[in-house]
Each structure stands twice: as structure tokens, then as C-alpha cells.
Amino acid sequence: MRDVFIIGVGQSTFGKLSDRTAADLGVEAVSEAIKDAGIKPRDIQIAYGCRVFDALTTAQSVLKGVGVTAIEMVNVENACASGSTAVRGLWKDIAFGLYDVGVAVGVESMTTSSIAGKLIPPQKDDFDGHLGLTFPTYFALIARRLMETHGATAEDFAMVSVKNHHHGCLNPRAQYKKEFTVEQVLASFMVADPITLLQCCPNTDGAAAVIMCSEDVAKRYTTKPVRVAASVLLSADYFFKKTDLTTVTMGKNACRMAYEMAGVGPEDLDVIELHDAFACEEIIHYEDMGICKPGESISLLRSGATALGGKIPVNPSGGLLSLGHPLGASGVRVIGEVALHLRDQAGKRQVPNARVGMAQMLGGMESGLEAGAAGIHILTI
Amino acid sequence: MEKILIKDGILVEGPEGVTLAANRCKSCGRVFFPKSKFCLDCQGNELEDIPLNKQGKLFSYTTPGMPSSHFKPPYAVGFVAMPEGLRVFAPLDIIADKPFKIGMEMEVHEDTLWTEGEKEYVGYRFRPL
């Protein structure tokens, strides 16, 4: 197995862009990643594409728009962790020497998808879904447990949203770019008590891409190659094995595997991008990632440690809450975001002197299981 | 109205009336609701049918302000921790003088959950005691 590096990062505009196709957004992201890497489109030997809704030959539909055709292209889906799955696939192909240069691209057009303006509907055999279990209600049940077991308050959940929206104001690509106060977050529509609308990620159209390569290739194109120190993809265990709703065992185990693979620990992380589809969710990942001791996530949040300027900034991009959440793109986007910080190119939201970062994306709600999939990547420079 | 159970075999007449129909692994004792074809814990193949206790304790709850597939506000849903060691997701009855509180006693009852045309979909709810 050999080392794999990220040499190109690209992201499209994020927002409600119903006049643009998913492929068009993908072209914007891949073109930027190719330019950033300094390679020619035809240098790309392998492509991974991902999209969650209305997906069909995603990579081909994007790459024909940048002049890349007639190579091996693989399309994957793993709910919100689709992007992590695409990057993981590309990482394996390069690490095991099948190819030297490739691209992973994630796209989504939520506003034109078959679920536009709706809740993600339950599958016919999704028994709990028909009984009223939706993503917002599930996370509301988690939030309620955090209040019971961790002493969390409604203001704590709102604080996560305030923090990430503040970060989003520093990111020119963010969908919201708007500051909110705790009071404004709490006064917004009650989606599922205690979760209000401004604690939920928006529907977003957008795309993200990364160019990855072997060490030999990386040396030819950049003096700042970002190394993929760990790539882990793990699926969920049965729901009945969960001890409480306040931990995601799948995510916790994937983090442990990633730390072992990278030879680093949570104390070494300088920056984290994670799945904050709902504000309360970010809090449970703090403990699962080990950046605080069990039971101390609320005090970590209140200390300001996870805000820009703090000890371990979480979601400096604005996260899904402010930057937006195009499902297929987010798993790729978090990896690009961490790479930008390690290269000291994240602009106003830069985490100073970042050397080690984690990009996490969890996805899916499968009846009978804890969730769908967890993708964890640790990057170093 | 035609009555349709939302999933076959989920209810059973127990010693104290209608309750949830579960099964239990004869090797490891793990209890499953809805019933499982094999033990998802130890992979054992011998399971016996058991009625779940009618009562459990509220584990978490929410009163959504937005509709789900079949329910419009006001409604409530939550997890109920059963004495057999499993948590059941269920619609909850909202009773004015019995506000939800984690740990409170809840009891299951059979009920029509929603209707579609001439079809009445029957399942279960838990109510605060």
C-alpha cells in the first residue's frame, strides 16, 4: 500500500439553483479542482461519482463536460456519506497501485429532485417511518436525551447554530451568509420540539470535487501535497445494540479505526468538518470523536473551544447548517475544506497553523439499523 | 371501513389485553419487536413468541410542529423502554394533565392511526399513565 495525496480541491456555488443541472454544478467543481491541481483533464485515469437522488451515470454526466471520457468511472451511493464513499474508493485504487491520478466528484440538485420541498419519504417497508419517525423527529429525540443525560439546554443547541452561521459568514461559498442570535434561532419555527428551523440544515444544490494521486505525481504538481493519513468507511450495526441516542456507535468506531490508521489521536486534531444536519447532532460527535471526555460535550461547546479561534474549531466552513447540504456533495466537500485549511488557503475562516484535520460524514436512516454509513478521513500536511 | 393492520403480526391478545407481539431468542434471550426471523444478536434460529408487557417507561419524546407521512400537528412520537430490554418507537397520546416526562410510565393500546379513503390503518399508540 502506498501513500495517497490530495492535490486539487473544487467546489461549486452552493444555494437554491434550480435553473442549473446537477451535472453543470459538477463541472464547476471539477474544473476548479483540475485548475487547482494544475493537471490536464486528460491526466485523470479514474473517476468516482456520487449523487443520492435521481442518480444515473453521475461521473460520466459531469466529466464529459470537462473533456474526460472513456476511462473507468464508478458511481456510488451511501446517503449523506456518499461523498466519503467516493473518496474512499478513489483512495483504495491509488493506494493499491491500480491508478496514479483520479477525481472524486459529488453532486446534488435538491431543488429539482423528486423530494424537492418534501421530507424524505419512508420506504414502503420502513415501519417506524410510517409511524412518524423522520430525520427531524429522530434528532429531536436525541436532543431530548442530551437534555436528560448531559444537562443540555435549548440555548446550547441554538449556540451550535449561531457558531456555524457565524463561520458561514466568513465563507464566500456559504448558502446563508447571515449571522443569527440565540434568541432568533430559538424563535424560529418549532420543527420538532426542541429543534427549531434554524437548527436544521437547508435544502441545497451544489457539487464538490477532489483530485487525488500517488506521491510521485503529487511531487510534480505541488509543494503542498495533503496526505490522506486515514480513510475509513463503516456501516451501521443493529439499532437494538445502541446504549443511548446520545452516541453514534458507528461513527465512534470509525473514528477509532481512523486514529489507529493515521497514528494520531483526537488531541492532535487542529480542525474538524462534520455532519451537522441538525445543531444537536454536532454535540454528540464531539464525544464520539474523543475531542472531549464522555459527558463533557456541553462544557466543551460552552467554552468556545469548537468555534474559530478556539482550541479545536469544528465546521469552520459553516457546516451543513450554514454552508448548506447537497447530499451527494457534502462528503467530498468536507475533505476539500480540511485540505484548504492544511494548505493555509481557507481565507477569512482559516484555522491558523492547521496540520492535522478530520473530515467526517455520516449518512442514512435504515429501519432496524443505527444509521447507514460513516466515512472518516484524516488529512495531514 | 376496511381495517388493515399496518404490519402483519404486530399485535397479540396478552393476559392483560392487546399488546405488542414480540419474539425471544431461546439461546441468548434477546427480545425482538417486530418479530425477527432469526436472532440478530447471536444468530440463533430458535425463537419463541411472547407478548410484550403492556407498560414501559418513556425514553424520549417530541411534539413535531411539522407533519410526517400520516400525522398532522398536534401529535407526539417517542421511544418507550420496555421491561424486556428493548425500545419501541411509537406515536404517543397527548393528554393535557399528563405532560411528557422522561421515565414516566406509558401503556400501549390498539388504535386506528390513519385512514386512506375507505381503509383504516390500525396499529398501536402509547399513553401516559
Quick one: A278 and A179 in the same domain?
yes
Do A65 and A103 lie in one domain? The reply is: yes
CB contact under 8 A, A133 and B102: no
**Does residue A356 sit in the same domain as residue A289?**
yes
Q: 51-90 in B: which are within 8 Å (CB) of A?
A: 59-66, 68-71, 75, 77-79, 86-87, 89-90
Please check whether residue A76 lies inside any domain of the structure.
yes
- Say if residue A189 is in the same domain as residue A281: yes
* Same domain membership, residue A188 and residue A292: yes
> Is it the case that residue A120 has pLDDT exceeding 80?
no
**DSSP strand pairing (A271-273 vs A356-363):** parallel
Q: Does some domain include residue A43?
A: yes
Global pTM reads 0.97
Chain A residue with minimum CA distance to B85: A240
| B69/A132 touch (CB, cutoff 8 Å), yes or no | yes
Answer whether B65 sits within 8 Å of A131, measured CB to CB: no
Task: Write down the mean pLDDT value for chain A.
Answer: 96
- Whether the pLDDT of residue A119 is over 70: the answer is no
Of A378, A294, A323, give the one whose Cα is nearest residue A88.
A378
Q: Whole-angstrom Cα distance, residue B120 to residue B114? A: 6
Q: Is residue A122 part of a domain?
A: no
Instruction: Specify whether A196 is located in the same domain as A212.
Output: no
* Element holding B97 (H helix, E strand): none
C-alpha closest to that of A52 among A324, A327, A331, A325? A327
Whether residue A147 lies inside any domain: the answer is yes
CATH of the domain at A222: 3.40.47.10
For residue A35, being part of any structural domain is answered with yes
pLDDT of A339 reads: 98
Domain count, chain A: 2
A352-362, pLDDT tens digit by residue?
A: 999 999 999 99
Pairwise CA distance, residues B103 & B129, whole Å: 11
In a domain, A121, yes or no: no
Give yes or no: residues A92 and A145 share one domain.
no
Query: What mean pLDDT comes out for the span A292-298?
Result: 97
Q: Is residue A189 part of a domain?
A: yes
In a domain, A120, yes or no: no
Distance from CA of B14 to the nearest CA of A (A): 22
- Residue A315's pLDDT band (cuts 50, 70, 90): very high
The confidence band for A117, taking pLDDT boundaries of 50, 70 and 90, is confident
Range of the domain at A183: 127-200+230-380
The answer, yes or no, to whether residue A367 has pLDDT greater than 90, is no
Of the pLDDT bands very low, low, confident and very high (cuts 50, 70, 90), residue A126 is: confident
What is the tens place of the pLDDT at every residue in A320-342? 999 999 999 999 999 999 999 99
In this structure, the answer to whether residues A145 and A52 fall within a common structural domain is no
Chain Cα centroid distance, residue A373: 12
Q: Are residues A218 and A75 in the same domain?
A: yes
Same domain for A258 and A158? yes
Helix, strand, coil share (%) of chain B residues, nearest 5: 0, 50, 50
